[in-house]
Amino acid sequence: MWTLCIGALVITSITHWIYRWRNPRCNGKLPPGSMGLPLLGESIQFFTPNTSSEIPPFVKKRMERYGPIFRTNVVGRPVVISTDSDLNYYIFQQEGRLFKSWYPDTFTEIFGQQNVGSLHGFMYKYLKNMVLNLFGPESLKKMLSEVEQVACRKLQGWSSQSTIELKDASASMVFDLTAKKLISYDQENSSENLRESFSAFIQGLISFPLNLPGTAYHKCLQGRKKAMKMLKSMLQERRANPRKNQSDFFDYVLEELQREGTILTEAIALDLMFVLLFASYETTSLALTFAIKILSDNPQVLKQLTEEHEAILKNRENNGSGLTWKEYKSMAYTFQFINETVRLANIVPGIFRKALKDIRYQGYTIPAGWAIMVCPPAVHLNPAKYEDPLAFNPSRWKVGQSLSLA
């Protein structure tokens, strides 16, 4: 008898738990969707690789079924996914008031507990200003000549080879340039290969978070561990042998760490360095590779780009001078081409935030504490926003067109 009662209680408890999993509490109406299996949610489907430039299959399938705003559960976390451009704009406008930057625990483990995406308030603004000091408009003006020289040197080297792996070659070029600017790292004069650690890291970045030997996620964490060890060693070496004049980001970091009352710590500085190197290594090289593929597929676009740049060369007083900031800012069609490349490349599949309060939107309620994933590809490929969205058409970005990449 007692056995039957205990069994009934267990079954009732499990049934109630499953019901609560599938029907989370909410002071209103939740967006439509499915919470998937208990504990696992829809994690397996979410992490399925997307090998095209279109909307990720996970998102596209649910958009067709539930509409532009829907709920799911990823790695045990309730998430609302937004493909609605108005809601996305509202989320970014209310940053720090109704929403804050947030990423799943697995991302935090990969990028570090103190990475810039996990910090808020004053510390977030403080780190943002640090980065702008390095890559802001004034710094970019000074870097223009250096970037041009590196690009020309690399292109000349590639031209002498029968074939190159474009993505890897582009990544190497961008990484070397950024690493030199950040930490004065020179692969040719270094005993360790920092870029190899990032290669291992990136291969498992968007993978199911199973930390077992042999899995892509495990290799990702090992790549991070090795890269962080190298960065810490470089920082300690620089601290032991400081320079008289600031020449890179490490010098700036060391000055901040030594300043009385500073809020910067070595852990935060190293996580920031890691994120900046990753951003340069992966996102920029993906965009460059996609851009070159697009040019090979669209000879008319290449023709217009060539004409614009040849006109700039023709108007130079000194043929031997390098690219100027004025020339760079005059490249109207080039900027249209860049915007269209970024739109179709869809380098960032999702941007995460967390609701600080109950958010009501179009009759739905997003509960406080829930995660929200903004999905840029769904906006970039929305036929209501972009005519013939899969077509590569830089002219859609002409001045006067009311378009944005939000």
Block means of pLDDT (10 residues each) for the chain, 406 residues, are 63 59 80 85 80 82 94 89 93 88 71 57 65 73 86 90 89 84 73 68 66 78 82 82 74 80 80 78 84 93 95 86 90 94 84 91 92 92 90 86 56
Q: What is the pLDDT of residue 340?
A: 94
- Return d(Cα 61, Cα 56) in angstroms, integer: 9
Domains and CATH numbers, the chain: 27-120+348-397 (3.30.43.20), 123-288 (1.10.630.10)
The predicted pLDDT at position 259 comes to 80
Looking at residue 297, what is its pLDDT? 93
Q: Which residues of 316-327 are buried (b: 16+ CB within 10 A; e: fewer)?
A: eeeeeeebeeeb
Q: Which two tokens stand for residue 257?
A: 């760490």
Give the list of residues 6+ apart from residue 17 with CB closer than 8 angstroms, or none: 38
User: Which residues are 101's β-sheet partners?
Assistant: 353
Tokens found for residue 170: 């582009």
Query: What per-residue confidence (pLDDT) applies to 11?
Result: 65
- The pLDDT value recorded for residue 15 is 63
The CA-based angle 182-188-192, given to 5 degrees, is 75
Q: How far apart are CA 139 and CA 162, in angstroms?
A: 36
